[in-house]
Amino acid sequence: MRGGLWQLGQSITRRLANGDKKAVARRCFATEADLKKTVLYDFHVANGGKMVPFAGWSMPIQYKDSIMDSTLNCRQNGSLFDVSHMCGLSLKGKDAVTFLEKLVIADVAALAPGTGTLTVFTNEKGGAIDDSVITKVTDDHIYLVVNAGCRDKDLAHIEEHMKAFKAKGGDVSWHIHDERSLIALQGPLAAPVLQHLTKDDLSKLYFGEFRVLDINGSQCFLTRTGYTGEDGFEISVPSENGVDLAKALLEKSEGKIRLTGLGARDSLRLEAGLCLYGNDLEQHITPIEAGLTWAIGKRRRAEGGFLGADVILKQLGDGPLIRRVGFISSGPPPRSHSEIQDEGGNNIGEVTSGGFSPCLKKNIAMGYVKSGLHKAGTKVKIIIRGKPNEGVVTKMPFVPTKYYKPS
């Protein structure tokens, strides 16, 4: 699925329009019996979801509307995403913060209870094992969500280090929240619609903040965050209440918030300049190279103490050799692995994500180029099917973010 969610969605749309359902079945449903299904699977199918394999799960790439329309509706009204394939877990114990800080770049200790941040799990070489949103629920309880495609390696990595930590007397334990489902509600109508289903005042919950509260009659973990650049929430709900919650949210929106699939989710996050692990972040890419220096806490920059800190702190001082940047280009939309050249035809990097922006009506992409050629306005050539296309390095996000922050 690497780099191809948007393109796959377009291909499915064309083939279904042409009546080529057998080809779609061969391409996407051959291993359906082997795939895991979220609690919302039947709900997706009943609502016209086109299901595809993704990270071992059967997930909706889109519904009855096009990816283009779905993307625009999220920005204008709102979207409901099933992200239950992602893995939520809790770390508990008086040493939970100390333990986690050995594995991630964030200053977890400095987080106030009920707040969170994006962080990166690093390896010994400073590369990214995964990116994750972590929340300090209390001083001895951390809640985090890791990517579906990284679940097995992430959990093995955490478990290996936890055993060593506990063997030295550290007090930490974990719980993987497989009993819960995860729903993302995004867009300008997210807050007013969700407010109908809870007595808590959502106007006092800001971007990056977390609460445990009653939503639609069940105890949920609510984080004001998302993967679209819009205001919104991720709601961890007991799985037995997942379908009812999804139905209630759609009903309260009076049809304005729509079920939305992975295809639009990919174009939304690209417009917001957000990384997709496996494309824009990899085991060999450091947070500095990825433009995530801001996620390294000030104390962590001084003290280190996380895996690969020597490599990362050296890059912090000397500067990285490559940098993640955005592009706007002409011609066909850039694809993952498209070569990037300077105006003289010399290779300077590679596209990691690209597509047509439904909101901007132009091609956008992100990728890595040599330092010195990363500044906004730098002209480049992006090679697609052997032909060079004009491009220019552009600041991200491509579409302004609308996170709900204190004024």
Confidence (pLDDT) at 215:
98
Q: Does residue 365 carry a pLDDT above 90? A: yes
The answer, yes or no, to whether residue 117 has pLDDT greater than 60, is yes
Asked if the model's pLDDT at residue 29 lies above 50, the reply is no
Give the residue numbers of the binding site.
Answer: 234
The fraction of the chain above a pLDDT of 70, given in percent, is 92
Average pLDDT, rounded, for the chain: 94
Please state the three-class secondary structure of the chain as a single string: CCCCHHHHHHHHHHHHHCCCHHHHHHHHCCCHHHCECCCCHHHHHHCCCEEEEECCEEEEEECCCCHHHHHHHHHHCEEEEECCCCEEEEEECCCHHHHHCCCECCCHHHCCCCEEEEEEEECCCCCEEEEEEEEEEECCEEEEEECHHHHHHHHHHHHHHHHHHHHCCCCCEEEECCCEEEEEEECCCHHHHHHCCCCCCHHHCCCCEEEEEEECCEEEEEECCCCCCCCEEEEEEEHHHHHHHHHHHHHHCCCCEEECCHHHHHHHHHHCCCCCECCCECCCCCCCCCCCHHHCCHHHHHHCCCCCHHHHHHHHHHCCCEEEEEEEECCCCCCCCCEEECCCCCEEEEEEEEEEECCCCEEEEEEEEECCCCCCCCEEEEEECCEEEEEEEECCCCCCCCCCCCC
Q: What is the pLDDT of residue 208?
A: 98
pTM of the model: 0.93
Report pLDDT for 32. Answer: 72
CATH architecture of 40-85+179-270: 2-Layer Sandwich (3.30)
* Structure confidence by residue, pLDDT tens digits, 204-238: 999 999 999 999 999 999 999 999 999 999 999 99
Q: Which CATH superfamily is domain 321-395 in?
A: Aminomethyltransferase beta-barrel domains (2.40.30.110)
Residue 44 confidence (pLDDT) above 80? yes
pLDDT value of residue 20? 53
Domain residue ranges of the chain, discontinuous segments joined by +: 40-85+179-270, 321-395
Residue 15 pLDDT grade (very low, low, confident, very high; cuts 50, 70, 90): low
Binding positions for substrate = 234
What's the confidence (pLDDT) of residue 28?
47
